[in-house]
A and B are shown apart, each in its own frame.
Chain A
Amino acid sequence: MITRRTAILGLPPALLAAAATPAEAALTGRAYATNEKDNTISVIDLAQMKTVKTVQTGQRPRGFDLTSDGKRLLVCLGDSNRIDILDTTSWKVLGSINTPDPEYAALRQPGNNPLYVSNENNALVTVWNIDTQKMLVQMPTGVEPEGMAVSPGGQVIVNTTETTSMAQFFSYGTGKNVANVLVPPRPRWAAFTHDGSEVWVSSELGGTVTVIDAKTFKVLDTIHFVVEGLRSTFIQPVGINITRDDKRAFVCLGPANRVAVVDVPERKVLSYVSTGSKVFDATVQKYLLVGQRPWHAGFTPDENYLLTANGLSNDVSVIDVTRLRVINTIPVGQQPWMVLVSPA
């Protein structure tokens, strides 16, 4: 990892980090990455740009969420058939939710409750009170539910079903299925715009992002990605992160080893950030090259930086959001699935 990092700009890591950030907000706080292969969570100190602690978890940690105060981390342990609620200071397990094959879970905000869980093997979304660890309701879905998003305000929940290729909408109050929107194959992720008007859904095999009207559930647009010199089959969009001002979306392109930067109102790809290139050419960047197979990403609270979890190179890329450059690469555990920066 070190060799590749230094190869990017030909500078040692410390210099690289220092050189990249002089006029910008200091990078501070902590980030967490779930490593699905070695059953750990890497705790990253962003000021030092390194993994400072590795927490052992149950089997196959993948999706996770954080409470709004950053004090609790809820991690899906797919092969242990439970979700553990961890204290992010002591790393003690505060409680567990026993639920089969959880892949991803999202908290309803505001309020840190309830927790929406994609039970991938059971074609179910289950809803849990995280304080009592009791199930409130379960909602049948298509085959292999995965991506999940809660609308701002928390009235609508959207789930993506990988094998059924649908974005499925559920009402918060009744748990009723209110709409099913067919999208290109293998939808992995959904994200609401912060004004609540649109839902963006990535299709890993379709190679697209579908923009859906969150009120009428009509498809407004389909965004395609083209990277010169790369076969379209390697462009497999997964994670979507939209800035709070709804201007930019960052889409992780999996085996393309890039993050696409999309203008949200225009629904056009602006550039592609690379995360794993040996030669970093700032002049021709259209997509950000990151490490290998980025699936999910997380912003720092000030949205000055975006971190990507690169599943095949076992590292986390740090992207300078303003300058659209990868400024550092931080080694984590094996097969990082998701990364989030602590909100506080």
Chain B
Amino acid sequence: MLGAIATAVGTGLTRSVSAQTTQASPTPTLTIGYVHWVHSVETISYIFTPPLDNGRSGAEVGITDNNTTGRFLNQNFLLSVVETHTNEDPVVALNTLIAKGIRLVITDRPAADVLKLADVAAPHGVTIFNAGAAEDALREENCRANVIHTAPSYYMLTDALAQYLIWKRWPRWFLAYGTQPNDLLLAAAYRRSAKIFGAHIVADRQYKGKAGSRETDSGLIELQEQLPVFTQNAPNYDVLVCADENSVFGGYMPYRTWDARPVAGSAGLIPTSWDPNSLEFGGRQMQDRFVAYAHRFMTALDMNAWVAVRMIGTAASYAQSLEPDKIMAYMRGPNFQLGAYRGLSLSVRDWNGQVRQAILLSDSGRTVVSMSPQPGFLHQFTVLDTLGTDKPETKCKLTTAQKG
């Protein structure tokens, strides 16, 4: 029993997991950093309140998986987590990790912070793994050569849903979006996907209601009156597509539209990188391992963080090295593939550092309805590149100097 794999510094608790190893002499070790954003939000559905260890537990299970492999290859992995809160500067946390010599750092901080961290990290030869932020600008006009995005972008998520709705022959959409900046980005992504895949947005309406507290007494009666009004007098549509990143109104849409229509997007049929009900492609084993460790279900953020850790571990296995430069070179190379329980293997888009991946379509976390890309959506190289910005359209220019 060697080594604690998870060490929290700063404000948080320390949680340790023993890495199983049979090595007697000290095993060569790579420490992966994690700038963790400890926060939660009020969600319309109480059972989907994000847990405080969201993402972090995924990374920790990834470390255990890396070490289950590493014990046979004389490689050991540790995770060094720095907990940060909403109003704290994540750069302080990053500097703590850099001072320890850590060069591969995962974060689930929001988009603006990812950019800040990337720029602080670059001169130190540090790579940032973005597990949380979906903003496409991070992969496009604001792309950075030292960032790998394990989180799918808005475009990838909206393309995944669009393909399914087109496959289903539901091309007429009612787009309902919120007032926050990320709602506007997500709505724009849906408009873009509609254009690409041949859907028509026949109604495009902003829901101006404010984020309230969860149900108060008689709140249901009010919603029952308000939401039909918001959706009435619409041209004939097939599906209501909802862009509500902040859980303000999306969850209230199903069963409350004026017309009897299904809901998709931020409620109803949800595009996501993971769902705790996904059992195909060996997913059952992933879910079981995660629940046994974290005593809760595995979220999309957990999966994105797990993917980051396993990408590092897998590249280290094949590169037969724990040197960050060799790991990153292998990861960005043509032979890299990671199995991540979604059929096709994951790899890195060399033009912007986005991890290409299949997207699940979840029935609000109850069952998996489908997985995109959908049959019939073809691509010259890989069907996974029918989701999100493809090479010919990218605005990202990674210079050799940037790639470091």
Contact = CB atoms under 8 A, between A and B. Distances in A.
Contacts of A48: none
Q: SS class of chain A's interface: helix, strand, loop or mixed? A: loop
A215 interface: no
Nearest to A236: B343
A243 interface: no
B337 A205 contact: yes
Contact of B383 (A144, A164, A177, A233): A233
Contact of B317 (A101, A168, A182, A206): A182
B339 A177 contact: no
B232 interface: no
A46 interface: no
B69 to A, nearest CB: 4
Interface in B285-312: 285, 288-289, 310
A121 B288 contact: yes
B339 A163 contact: yes
Given A185-B345, A233-B383, A164 B68 contact: yes
Interface in A163-191: 163-166, 168, 177, 180, 182, 184-186
B48 interface: no
B285 A120 contact: yes
B71 A165 contact: no
Contacts, number: 65
B344 A233 contact: yes
Give the residue among B288, B318, B345 with the most A Cβ atoms within 10 A. Answer: B345
A205 B285 contact: no
A162 interface: yes
B336 to A, nearest CB: 10
B72 A177 contact: yes
Given A142-B68, A162-B339, A182 B318 contact: yes
B65 A143 contact: yes
Contacts of A231: 383
B314 interface: yes
B233 interface: no
Nearest to A255: B343
Contacts of B288: 101, 121
Contacts of B317: 164-165, 182
Interface residues of B, number: 23
Contacts of B383: 231, 233
Interface residues of A, number: 27
B268 to A, nearest CB: 27
A25 B310 CA distance: 51
A140 interface: yes
B134 to A, nearest CB: 25
B69 A142 contact: yes
Nearest to B288: A121
B382 interface: yes
Given A120-B285, A144-B285, A165-B314, A205 B69 contact: no
B2 to A, nearest CB: 14
B220 interface: no
A256 to B, nearest CB: 13
B95 interface: no
A168 B339 contact: no
A270 interface: no
A123 interface: yes
Interface string A108-149: 000000000000110100000000000000001111100000
A185 B69 contact: no
Contacts of B289: 121
Contacts of A164: 65, 68-69, 72, 317
Interface string B273-286: 00000000010010
A178 to B, nearest CB: 11
B338 interface: yes
B337 A206 contact: yes
Contacts of B338: 185
Nearest to B289: A121
Contacts of A166: 69, 72
12 contacts: A143-B65, A143-B68, A163-B65, A163-B285, A163-B310, A164-B69, A165-B317, A177-B72, A180-B73, A186-B282, A205-B337, A205-B339
Given A142-B72, A165-B69, A165-B314, 19 more contacts: A101-B288, A121-B285, A121-B288, A142-B68, A143-B65, A143-B69, A164-B65, A164-B69, A180-B73, A185-B314, A185-B337, A185-B338, A185-B339, A185-B345, A205-B337, A205-B345, A206-B337, A231-B383, A233-B383
| Closest 10 pairs (CB-CB, A-B) | A164-B69, A180-B72, A205-B345, A186-B339, A185-B339, A185-B337, A143-B68, A142-B69, A143-B65, A205-B339
